[in-house]
Amino acid sequence: MAIKLSTKYVEDFLSKFQLSSLQKKVSACHDMLHNKTGEGSDFTGWVDLPVNYDKEEFGRIKAAAERIRKQADILIVIGIGGSYLGARAVIDMFKDPFRKTTKTEVVFLGQNMSSEYMESLLHYIIDKDVAVNVISKSGTTTEPAIAFRIIKEFMERKYGKEYAKTRIYVTTDKEKGALKSLATTEGYETFVIPDDVGGRYSVLTAVGLLPIAVAEIDIDELMLGASEARTKYMENSLDNECYKYAVYRNALYKVGKKTEILVNYEPCMGYFTEWWKQLYGESEGKDHKGIFPAGVTFTTDLHSMGQYIQDGRRELFETVIKIKNSRSEIVVREDMLDLDGLNYLAGKSMNEINEKALLGTVMAHYDGNTPSMIIEIDEISPRNIGELIYFFEKACGISGYLLGVNPFNQPGVEDYKKNMFALLGKPGYEERRKELESKSK
């Protein structure tokens, strides 16, 4: 078993009655998800995706990744939100933070509107061979659309229109949206985001798989881990740890623990936390309710956020990701003089020390009234990460239903867009513009 959940440092905060009432509800949520009778059921294609995916397209993804690795020093992945975070999360977990270890470097664009970021990237790629993967399910999202307009021009200037085409890969809806029309008109190779898979649940579609494969991460193993998780987390009971996690976080929410902090002890998992934050924040934060998802990397953030978690407002709980076996084993050596006083650590690996920091912190936070669940993973491998992705996706669907919201829509995201379009003078938003202008006077 690659993933294990421990609730030892949470139990005292919850009553048996509370857990048993949620336990009854979870069974109904399981049925809603699997029988497609719950809200947002049109977007539950991710549940069976690890086995029920387009095998022909999967082959094309691998072939395209191989071609990109031959064509390009840099792959620019353009996308935002669910069309960005999953790929970045997985790639970062397998990327060496200092050395270039893959043929093609994957960089990200279109996840902000910063001119400085864009200019810096344009300088970085000027003398490099470049390929582009632009990703947008709706095909109309402003940030990636602006980025792609600029990069398309760069590519056509650098390679000529005809040759640039062979270096541009599009991932979008099978028929709708401006990006789809553009891809058809220009003749770009295109990959499809299934209708029934929403952005934040799409990392195991071409959205995540193409960039991940370009980064030389084994996508067969990733899918294998996810399909094993699909079987493992199918059981309709609290022995199912995925459901147990969903139940416990809802129970904690009910006793006033309104913020969940995902804690990792490996810096390579920072973007995994960002992916998780989007998954839970966009799925549950609606109808004026939902746990607020936050994240920290320890021990780094013990020296910044640790004080608050130990001693600030008591509305927090933590979900700690513990990696049992590190991919590296550096041991602290004995020093004759021991001027730094660290000889008591001689012979211990950094991993052992990290593990003790984890346990010591969990216990200190528990004593300070911040409970923790611990999710232990054997090691960071594509197969285990496939399992972890599926674990969190399924727990999120169940948790959203337990909370009583539709976990598969994101109506609140539209509001800032309407204002931004109005302020930028987009046709069709004239009335809104007048309203905003009169309010801001």
# residues contacting ligand PA5 (CB under 6 A): 14
* Cβ distance to ligand PA5 smaller for residue 139 or 386: 139
Of 30 and 200, the one with the shorter C-beta distance to ligand PA5 is: 200
Among residues 241 and 282, whose Cβ is nearest to ligand PA5?
282
Question: Of 104, 111, 133, 141, which lies in the binding site for ligand PA5, with binding defined by CB under 6 A?
Answer: 141
Q: How far apart are CA 348 and CA 331, in angstroms?
A: 6
Q: CB 138 → ligand PA5: shortest distance, Å?
A: 3
Q: Which stretch binds ligand PA5 (CB under 6 A): 33-41, 130-138, 361-369, 430-438?
A: 130-138
Residue among 371 and 397 whose Cβ is closer to ligand PA5:
397
Closest approach of ligand PA5 to the CB of residue 139, in Å: 7
The number of angstroms, rounded, from the C-alpha of 17 to the middle of its chain's C-alpha atoms is: 33
Q: By CB under 6 A, name the one of 111, 136, 361, 370 that touches ligand PA5.
A: 136
Judged by beta carbon, residue 82 or residue 382, the one nearer ligand PA5 is 82
CA distance 361 to 301: 12
- Residues with Cβ within 8 Å of 106's Cβ and at least 6 positions away in sequence, in order, are 74, 75, 77, 87, 91, 211, 214, 215
Instruction: Kindly list the distances between the CA atom of residue 241 and the CA atoms of 117, 164, 415, in Å, as whole numbers in the listed order.
Output: 41, 48, 36
Nearer to ligand PA5, 113 or 126 (CB): 113
DSSP state of 194: -
Min dist CB 267 to ligand PA5, Å, is 24
Q: Which is nearer to ligand PA5, 43 or 265 (CB)?
A: 43
The owner of tokens 């905060």 is 13
Residue closer to ligand PA5, measured from CB, 50 or 407: 407
Candidates 137-145, 223-231, 360-368, 396-404 — which segment interacts with ligand PA5 by CB under 6 A? Answer: 137-145
Helical ranges in 139-288 per DSSP H? 142-159, 161-165, 178-186, 206-214, 219-232, 241-254, 270-284
Q: Should residue 81 be labelled a site residue for ligand PA5 when binding is judged by CB under 6 A?
A: yes
Say whether residue 409 binds ligand PA5 (CB under 6 A): no
Span interacting with ligand PA5, options 80-88, 90-98, 184-192, 365-373, rule CB under 6 A? 80-88
Give the CB-nearest residue to ligand PA5: 199
The pairs formed by 163-166 with CB atoms below 8 angstroms and a separation of 24 or more are 166/71
Q: How far is the CB of 79 from ligand PA5 (least distance, A)?
A: 6
CB 402 within 8 A of CB 389: no
Nearer to ligand PA5, 83 or 381 (CB): 83
Q: Which residues contact 111 (CB under 8 A, 6 or more apart)?
A: 79, 80, 81, 84, 143, 144
**Nearest to residue 22, comparing CAs of 406, 404, 405, 407?**
404
- Based on the shown chain and the rule CB under 6 A, indicate whether residue 171 belongs to the binding site for ligand PA5: no
Torsion of CA 425, 428, 430, 431, to 10 degrees: -140
Task: Output the smallest distance, CB 140 to ligand PA5, in A.
Answer: 7
**At its nearest, how many Å lie between ligand PA5 and the CB of residue 57?**
17
Instruction: Note whether 273 binds ligand PA5 by CB under 6 A.
Output: no
Q: CA dist 106 to 131, 133, 215, 389, 417, Å?
A: 10, 10, 7, 21, 28
| Site for ligand PA5 contains 410 (CB under 6 A) | yes
Q: Using the rule CB under 6 A, is 82 a contact of ligand PA5?
A: yes
Min CB(169)–ligand PA5 separation in Å: 15
x/- binding map, residues 187-226, to ligand PA5, per CB under 6 A? -----------xxx--------------------------
Among 80, 121, 147, 262, binds ligand PA5 (CB under 6 A): 80
Give the C-alpha separation, 259 to 367, whole Å.
18
End-to-end CA distance of the chain: 61
CB of 411 to ligand PA5, least distance (A): 11
- Binding status of residue 137 toward ligand PA5 by CB under 6 A: yes
Q: Catalytic residue positions?
A: 282, 303, 417
What CA–CA distance (Å, rounded) separates 85 from 353?
Answer: 30
286 binds ligand PA5 (CB under 6 A): no
Structure tokens at 293: 């998802």
Burial pattern 212-233, b for ≥16 Cβ within 10 A else e, equals: bbbbbbebeebbbbbbbbbebb
d(CA 99, CA 96): 6
Instruction: Enter the tokens of residue 259.
Output: 């913020």
Tell the smallest beta-carbon distance from residue 82 to ligand PA5 (Å): 3
**Residues numbered 381-400 forming contacts with ligand PA5, rule: CB under 6 A:** none
Residues at the contact surface with ligand PA5, assessed by CB under 6 A: 80-83, 136-138, 141, 144, 198-200, 282, 410
